[in-house]
A and B are shown apart, each in its own frame.
Chain A
Amino acid sequence: MSASLIRFENVSKAFGSTVVIDDLNLDVRKGEFLTLLGPSGSGKTTTLLMLAGFEAPSGGTILVDGKRIDDLPAHRRGMGVVFQNYALFPHLTVAQNVAFPLQMRGVPRGEIARRVDAALDRVQLRHLSSRKPSQLSGGQQQRVALTRCLVFEPKVILMDEPLSALDKQLRERLQLEIRELYRREGLTVVFVTHDQSEALTMSDRIAVFNRGAIAQIGTPADIYDRPANRFVSEFIGETNLLEAEVTGRGDDHLDLALEGGPGIRVPGRCEDRAVAVSIRPERLVLDAPELDNHLDATVDDVVYQGNHLRIHLSCGPLRLVAQSERRIEPPVVGRKVRVSFAAEDCTVLTE
């Protein structure tokens, strides 16, 4: 779980004059589930394509097990790739699709049959082995694509938004299935998605991409609780991002004045004068005098969301969203309330 299996060193990629990836450094550890997360055009898919061998880097090197692979053609990299639309061969049956990578490797006929059957058994699809892909459901097709990829036991599995074509329920079930498969087979997975909740659900680590560079890389908890910059704090989950001015500096805390006047105290050090503070909606609590910081606000709206309430608040020019459990008495719209939050729930962002 610690040794680096794949390493991107100063990799860049430009299409004409458009720079897609700029000086990327990234380690993928052996046996980890790493997700490349980002909005479209952020370079996450290009990174995956360079790793798979479908795009050549414009600069830098990509190493696997310490060996340069960026001049190796795709078919000799031995990486399993699962594509967005499954990319099953429509003229071949399920069994023939799964047998394909073994045939390409010159595996003897008898062994191919045995391994194909075993692989299809593991995903409970053996009874469909003589069907054509068009006769399968989306979920079954994705399982076949995964099986076809696993059957030749690649060092790394690359997945390019493999679940985006499926509906929500099926997507969530397959997320767990992939996760389970990953654990059981001891795979190394590089997974690309633009869906942040999918990234949080599945990953050991997440690399958040923005404009061709990694904005932050870390565990899901790191990314969510301690976003490194404004982009990450807004892209991952929901947050209240408040502009503030530093009015005082302590040993391990800062005194800030929010837009409109109210002062708060947060942990951290910072040389800048203008900063932003990120506070997650579920960290804002109504009427909790024991917490460090308090704001006087007016309730603008209360939205019922099933398992929780979303409370829209205004505090002078500030607009806040709080999320609270349903157990509390819903506040009345228009009422003055006191919003409280702990100092350690605030993240100070300078960039």
Chain B
Amino acid sequence: MLIAPLVVFLAVFMLWPLWIMISLAIRDDEVSEVLPRTAAALADWNGEGIPGSAAGQALADDLRGAERTRLGPAVRRLNSDISGFRTLMARTQRAADDVTDGAPIDLVAVDERWGETRYWRAIANAVQPYTDRYLLAAVDLERDPDGAIASMPEGASANAAIIVRTFTIAGTVTAICVMIGLPYAMLIAATGGWVRNALLLSVLLPLWTSLLVRTTAWVILLQNEGLVNAAITGLGLSDTPLSLIFNRTGVVIAMTHVLLPFMVLPIFSVVNAIPRNLMPAAASLGAPPLRAFYRVLLPLSMPGVLAGSLLVFMVAIGYYITPALVGGADDQMVASVIAFFALETANWGMAGALGLILLAATTILFIVYGRLSRSGAPIGA
């Protein structure tokens, strides 16, 4: 009973939006809603030759009753498969309007393109309630006229490249977070009192800072005339200022900054739970400090590193605003493509499909993590 509010919350704010996203990615009812009778008539057509006259009659009936506002998107959708569909449908609708109700109509006489299989096949594909075209398009694939999966022509879409870029940036950020976070977490665990609190606070601070303030601060620090470049040129390390912002470097720096707590905290909690006497025990058994570290402390910290990496990676692949603010055009990640489809072109199908890909990546990582952590320490002796 007490968890009822929780269940409701999860259902309303997690499962429902998730379901909407998934269904948007695979549902395709723009055409089937406008052409329901055609959809029924084409249901048992095998896709060869020309469907019987009943299909043509059904199409004419659908077009006669269709509202212009709903017909528009459906025709646009068909036109994207075969250009020329718009004029074909307009001519057919005029012809259908001229015929009195119930009278037979010969579509091939209206327009001879109705004698071609591919137009019918396009309608038959489009009236299917579910489609994989968005999911395929999300990874730069499409179905060729014969229905087989094929790559999109070169330059038609950059989704695959952006997905690879997203994973590359997230992977880079994760790796840097491990390199900084592991020693840092061990340092926190080794200290106590106010030093520990100060160290924890300084790594948590970015989480509590407004995103805009944080990002602007990086812009100020990293710009060509900024503090960092002033220091570099001042010390003579470089003659010209390095470009550190509005490119990949800036994105990685800013993302590492804010994601570091997600790495440090899991490692800290794991390292802090390691019994304090294990390192002295290793020393008493003859292990020099570095060997004791590699044989005892590091393997025992790995669950924390794994949890932190997973967390950082999963959060990182969804980053949107930071790359938009401190990155260049070639540093935009999947999330910004999703935003583009969702906010600017209202292409919910593509937005949902790309979201689904992120979700799938996260889920796979999570399952792998579950396997690894259940099988005990990921690094054996």
**Across chains A and B, which 5 residue pairs bring their CB atoms closest together, nearest first?**
A87-B281, A104-B286, A81-B284, A101-B285, A74-B283
What residues of chain A lie closer than 8 Å to B278, measured between beta carbons?
87, 89
Say yes or no for A83: interface residue by CB 8 A criterion: yes
B295 CB → nearest A CB, Å: 7
24 residue pairs from A and B, CB less than 8 Å apart: A52-B284, A73-B283, A74-B283, A75-B287, A75-B288, A76-B286, A77-B284, A78-B286, A79-B284, A83-B281, A84-B277, A87-B275, A87-B277, A87-B278, A87-B281, A89-B295, A89-B296, A91-B296, A91-B299, A91-B376, A100-B285, A104-B287, A132-B376, A149-B285
What residues of chain A lie closer than 8 Å to B289, measured between beta carbons?
75
Q: Render B266-297 as a binary contact track against A, CB cut-off 8 A, 1 for contact.
A: 00000000010110111111111101100110
Q: 11 additional contacts, CB 8 Å, given A152-B286, A158-B284? A: A54-B283, A73-B288, A76-B286, A78-B286, A79-B284, A83-B281, A89-B295, A91-B299, A91-B379, A93-B381, A100-B295
Q: Render A197-220 as a binary contact track against B, CB cut-off 8 A, 1 for contact.
A: 000000000000000000000000
What residues of chain B lie closer than 8 Å to A74, measured between beta carbons?
280, 283-284
Closest-by-CB residue of A relative to B285 is: A101
B282, B289, B291: most-surrounded residue (chain A CB, <10 A) = B282
Say yes or no for B300: interface residue by CB 8 A criterion: yes
Query: Residues on A close to B: CB < 8 A?
Result: 52-54, 73-81, 83-85, 87, 89-93, 96, 100-101, 104-105, 132, 148-149, 152, 158
Restricting to B326-381, which residues have a CB under 8 Å from any CB of A?
A: 376-377, 379, 381
Q: Report Cα–Cα, A76/B288, bound state, in Å.
A: 8
A72 CB → nearest B CB, Å: 11
A191 CB → nearest B CB, Å: 15
Q: Report Cα–Cα, A132/B376, bound state, in Å.
A: 10
Q: Report Cα–Cα, A80/B296, bound state, in Å.
A: 18
A305 CB → nearest B CB, Å: 38
What residues of chain B lie closer than 8 Å to A83, measured between beta carbons?
277, 280-281
Closest-by-CB residue of B relative to A145 is: B281
Contact A75 B286 (CB under 8 A): yes
Q: Report Cα–Cα, A53/B287, bound state, in Å.
A: 13
Contact A105 B286 (CB under 8 A): yes
Contact A53 B275 (CB under 8 A): no
Closest-by-CB residue of A relative to B291 is: A104
A83, A89, A91, A132: most-surrounded residue (chain B CB, <10 A) = A91
Count how many chain B residues have C-beta atoms less than 8 Å from C-beta atoms of the other chain. 23
Contact B300 A90 (CB under 8 A): yes
Q: Report Cα–Cα, A96/B300, bound state, in Å.
A: 15
What residues of chain B lie closer than 8 Å to A92, measured between beta carbons?
381
What residues of chain A lie closer than 8 Å to B282, measured between beta carbons?
75, 89, 100
A79 CB → nearest B CB, Å: 6
B288 CB → nearest A CB, Å: 5
Closest-by-CB residue of A relative to B302 is: A91
Q: Report Cα–Cα, A313/B97, bound state, in Å.
A: 123
A34 CB → nearest B CB, Å: 18
Contact A152 B285 (CB under 8 A): yes
What residues of chain A lie closer than 8 Å to B292, measured between beta carbons?
75
What residues of chain A lie closer than 8 Å to B275, measured between beta carbons?
85, 87
What residues of chain A lie closer than 8 Å to B381, measured between beta carbons?
91-93, 96
Q: Report Cα–Cα, A82/B299, bound state, in Å.
A: 22
B328 CB → nearest A CB, Å: 44
Q: Report Cα–Cα, A152/B285, bound state, in Å.
A: 8
Contact A100 B377 (CB under 8 A): no
Contact A101 B286 (CB under 8 A): yes
Contact A100 B284 (CB under 8 A): no
A52, A75, A76, A101: most-surrounded residue (chain B CB, <10 A) = A75
What residues of chain B lie closer than 8 Å to A52, measured between beta carbons?
280, 284
Contact A100 B287 (CB under 8 A): yes
What residues of chain A lie closer than 8 Å to B281, measured between beta carbons?
81, 83, 87, 89
B274 CB → nearest A CB, Å: 8
Closest-by-CB residue of B relative to A101 is: B285
Contact B286 A91 (CB under 8 A): no
Q: Report Cα–Cα, A149/B291, bound state, in Å.
A: 18
B245 CB → nearest A CB, Å: 42
Q: Report Cα–Cα, A148/B283, bound state, in Å.
A: 13
Q: Report Cα–Cα, A148/B284, bound state, in Å.
A: 11
What residues of chain B lie closer than 8 Å to A149, measured between beta carbons?
284-285
Closest-by-CB residue of A relative to B287 is: A104
B278, B280, B285, B381: most-surrounded residue (chain A CB, <10 A) = B285
What residues of chain B lie closer than 8 Å to A53, measured between beta carbons?
283-284
Contact B299 A75 (CB under 8 A): no
Contact B280 A87 (CB under 8 A): yes
- Picked from B280, B299, B379, the residue with its CB within 8 Å of the CB of A54 is B280
What residues of chain A lie closer than 8 Å to B288, measured between beta carbons?
73, 75
B15 CB → nearest A CB, Å: 37
Contact B300 A91 (CB under 8 A): yes
B378 CB → nearest A CB, Å: 10
- Picked from A85, A96, A105, the residue with its CB within 8 Å of the CB of B277 is A85
Q: Report Cα–Cα, A112/B267, bound state, in Å.
A: 33
Contact A75 B300 (CB under 8 A): no
What residues of chain B lie closer than 8 Å to A105, measured between beta carbons?
286
Closest-by-CB residue of A relative to B303 is: A91
Q: Report Cα–Cα, A270/B300, bound state, in Å.
A: 62
Contact A104 B277 (CB under 8 A): no
Q: Report Cα–Cα, A105/B286, bound state, in Å.
A: 7
Q: Report Cα–Cα, A73/B299, bound state, in Å.
A: 23
Contact B277 A148 (CB under 8 A): no
A113 CB → nearest B CB, Å: 13
Closest-by-CB residue of A relative to B281 is: A87
Contact B377 A91 (CB under 8 A): yes
Closest-by-CB residue of A relative to B296 is: A89
Q: Report Cα–Cα, A100/B283, bound state, in Å.
A: 11
What residues of chain A lie closer than 8 Å to B376, measured between beta carbons?
91, 132
Q: Report Cα–Cα, A54/B300, bound state, in Å.
A: 22
